Structure 1
Amino acid sequence: MLAPIAAAPLALADPPPPDPAVQPVGDPAVDPGPPPDTGVVASSEPGVVTTPDGWVLTVAAKDETELPVAPLTTAISSREYLVGGTFTGTVTGSGKTTLAGGVLEAGYQIGCGIELGQVRLIGSVGIGTSGSNITGGLIPTGINFPISGTLEIHLKPGSVTNVSVDKKTFKAAPARVTLKDVHIKLDGCAGQSFLRSYATLTSSTTDTDDVVAYYGVTKSV
């Protein structure tokens, strides 16, 4: 007797559930990545000095922003920043001399790790002919001008550039300079750049000048 035999279908095992401890890589819902740069930077401690006459000079900054932006020149050797902040200068104490005002200057220092120096194109141009062999010799049929060259780039050690944004002359302290969305730039920078704010307070009397400086936190770009 013959009995029909049916093959049982193979049962495929369901994949195991995902391990909750293992998170998918690159999922923005799980790993949004670093937050965008808003440009906000911390301010350093104020610069304070007591003059020999007994006056106390203080220069400080707050609400500072330093945001790197794409340069309008689109050159890869240009650096451009959008900056802002409030810089103040005060003169207090009971000095022995009569104050005659002064100057509050605010600006930025841009440091470039490597500067782009001289760029030269070194090349040569030759002349050659081509021809066909026929009975009796070679008859030229064309002339060509082969050109070869190399680009020579000279790099220089980095430097620091001071960019003065504003100078406020005052008759009596306190004095203030407020900057908002000011563009500053540096050209010819082939390496990493560094940026920090600065402010100087100059207090004057009839015969003297006393200067105190403030330097902000350095930001690398």
Structure 2
Amino acid sequence: MRWRIRAGTAAATAALALVAGVPVVQADPVPMRPQVYDKVSRDGWHLNIRIENEVVNSIPNLANAQNSREGFVTASATATAVGGANPITDSIFILGYQLGCQSDVSAGLQYGGTAGLGPVGSLGLGGGILPSAAVGVNGGAAGFVQTVLQPGVIVDLPLSNMTLGPSGQAMLDIDNIHIKADACGGDVTIRSYAYLRVSTEAAHTQFAIYGDPIKI
């Protein structure tokens, strides 16, 4: 299963569909609830992360593929750190989405009567590799149709990141960013997340908040 992201606009999607003579059926964008999390680190830093102005816009797949889902997401995330006694030596703030696929059909279909399938290898996500369980399926007589189904897959899709500035604040904005899930045989559910990690000489603190799940 391949997960892809790229910037784009819903208007461009609609325009391409109209040029091809295909009517565009599109749900209204859905505003999501804001999320806030406050925490005090063990060495006295008052930390806050929040997600605001989140909108999820599910759209019909441009290629009209039954096993692909896509949408556009907009969100703002803010992190602040104040009041600590020890200087912050390292930090990272991330805004992204988690995507869940009900069943993976990336191995495709096999037609005919050849022998069994080999084990499934691994799933790629950007430049990294996610390990997957090996699954063996033995074929039978001619005329069968089969596919290798992985268990439900959940991946983290970081969209933007930065370190805390000298004032102890970081702000991330994504606007109308295109997300897409390929080779998913069932529902695709997404939820936003914001993650903050802060390090000092005395403590290492990391925590996250999550938006409400929504299907695309």
The whole-number CA distance in structure 2 between the counterparts of 1:45 and 1:66 is 15
Which residues in structure 2 correspond to 1:67-78 (within 5 Å)?
67-78=57-68
Please tell me the root mean square deviation across aligned C-alpha atoms, in Å: 2.1
Counterpart position of 1:83: 73
Counterpart position of 1:114: 103
Dislocated runs of 4+, deviation >6 Å: none
CA contact (8 A) 1:108 1:162 kept: yes
Residue correspondences, number: 162
Distance 1:207 1:185, change over 3 A: farther
Structure with bigger helix share is 2
Residue identity in the other structure for 2:102 = G
1:168 to 2:157 alignment: no
- The runs of 5 or more residues in structure 2 that have no matched partner are 1-25, 115-141
Counterpart position of 1:57: 47
Residue identity over aligned pairs, in percent, reads: 27
Residue identity in the other structure for 1:106 = L
2:88 pairs, out of 99, 108, 111, with 99
Deviations 1:73-120 (A, max 9, x none): 43221121200111000112x322112352210000111112215321
Which residues in structure 2 correspond to 1:186-201 (within 5 Å)?
186-201=181-196
Distance 1:171 1:101, change over 3 A: farther
Q: Which moved more, 1:205-214 or 1:173-182?
A: 205-214
Structure with bigger strand share is 1
Residue identity in the other structure for 2:68 = S
Which residues in structure 2 correspond to 1:205-216 (within 5 Å)?
205-206=200-201, 208-216=203-211
Counterpart position of 1:133: none
Question: Bigger relative contact order, structure 1 or 2, given CA contacts below 8 A and separation 6+?
Answer: 2
Residue identity in the other structure for 2:89 = A
